[in-house]
Amino acid sequence: MASGIKDKVAILGMGCAKFGERFDADAEDLMVEAFEECIADAGIDVSEIQAAWGSTTFDEMGVGKSAIPYSQALRLPNIPVTRVENYCASGSEAFRGAAYGVASGACDIALAIGVEKLKDTGFGGLPNMNPGPLKSQWWANMTAPGGFAQLASAYRAKHGIGKDDFKRAIAHVSVKSHANGVLNEKAHLRRPITEEDALNAPIIAEPLGLYDCCGVSDGAACAILTTPEIAKSLGKGPVITVKALQIAASNGTEASFNQWDGSHFLTTRVASQRAYEEAGVKNPRDDLSLIEVHDCFSVTELVTMEDLHISPEGTALTDVMDGFYDSDGTIPCQIDGGLKCFGHPIGASGIRMLYEMYLQLLGRAAERQRDDVDLCLTHNLGGFPHENVAAVCIVGRHE
């Protein structure tokens, strides 16, 4: 019977490149930048890595279709290297591959790395995603801002929230994240904004304005994973382990049937509940110390608070406005600035979120450091509200 991977996998080291308009670097340069920090942190030689998983979403614009560029750029020792892609949850998928490799006993030390090079593509936003022939008729005029604006409308309608109250709440989400991003030297956008800035910004897709949307960036992040026993033998302390890692993919119900009202992410609700069960979390509102969620848009973060079963349904707006998720709140969300300030190099985002949680658990987050950090959760979402994949990971110190 399946027992999950709680405390079977330890994070030996992590690294993160500077996110931003990295016209000075190609995808391989960004991978090397993140990897050099990661392997120095792990305290091992590259020859000790036994398997690797790399994530990139837009292959032709980054590293290509195969996994060979990862191996070549990092001079990996002729080990198995697998390229994975799962929309915007690709980074979490790479981390899952490495974690499962270690947990299964197939390897003792594994690498997960994610990279994306978007600023050289010539697009103002993300390049077109091909959903396949069966979905192309549904996605013909779909844009990310348009899809998530529909989420906002559905949520407002379901809970009877006035337009002005809702816009102030999502503005608070963005203001909070920008304030946090100012303190992060690796973030792309490091300028504080005011509520007035957010409310008066140009509309991208009603009700989402410019400051409700995350940016497009280049970046890379990586992790080296092993067993807790090996981590301890190498002198690591405290040892940070994976408490849960769950992924849920849409099966078509949201897009094809009438049970889904468009106001939430079914996959996030499913993946988070599975993760809590795997980690032994009884009450996430009481048990979690920090969270990083997929704030591609400010409304996504607000809705996700309920889908993660932290804010009771219909109350996320109140929690947001009360400062529950602020840096000095009960459960800070996006304490590093989130996608809002890092931007979203797709293949890297899921691992970048874990990088901040890792720093916080080790007390290395400098001005951002939060006291009494115990359990930390990351949430990485790919696709559109009606058709997506959600990844939830929980990490903490080894018991």
Give me the residues paired with residue 249 across strands. 389
Residues 6+ positions from 288 with CB-CB distance below 8 Å: 281, 310, 331, 375, 376, 377
- Looking at the DSSP bridge assignments, the partners of residue 223 are 14, 112
Give the SS3 label for residue 8. coil
Residue 12, helix vs strand vs coil:
strand
Say if residue 357 is exposed, middle or buried (CB neighbours under 10 Å; 0-12, 13-18, 19+).
buried
Has 88 been annotated as catalytic?
A: yes
240 strand-pairing partners: 11, 397
Both structure tokens of 174:
């963005």
- Residues 51, 112: Cα–Cα separation, whole Å: 9
Backbone angles phi, psi at 82, to 5 degrees: -120, 130
Task: Please pick, among 88, 222, 296, 333, the residue that the annotation labels catalytic.
Answer: 88
* Catalytic residue status for 344: yes
Residue bearing tokens 């990490």 = 395
* Residue among 128, 198, 397, 174 nearest 298 (CA): 174
DSSP category for residue 385: T
Q: In whole angstroms, give the CA distance from residue 107 to residue 123.
A: 40
The single-letter code of the amino acid at 293 is V
Catalytic option among 172, 344, 379, 386: 344
Residue 348 is encoded by which pair of tokens? 């890297």
Tell me whether the omega of the peptide bond preceding residue 192 falls within 30 degrees of 0, making it cis: no
Question: Which residues are part of the catalytic machinery?
Answer: 88, 344
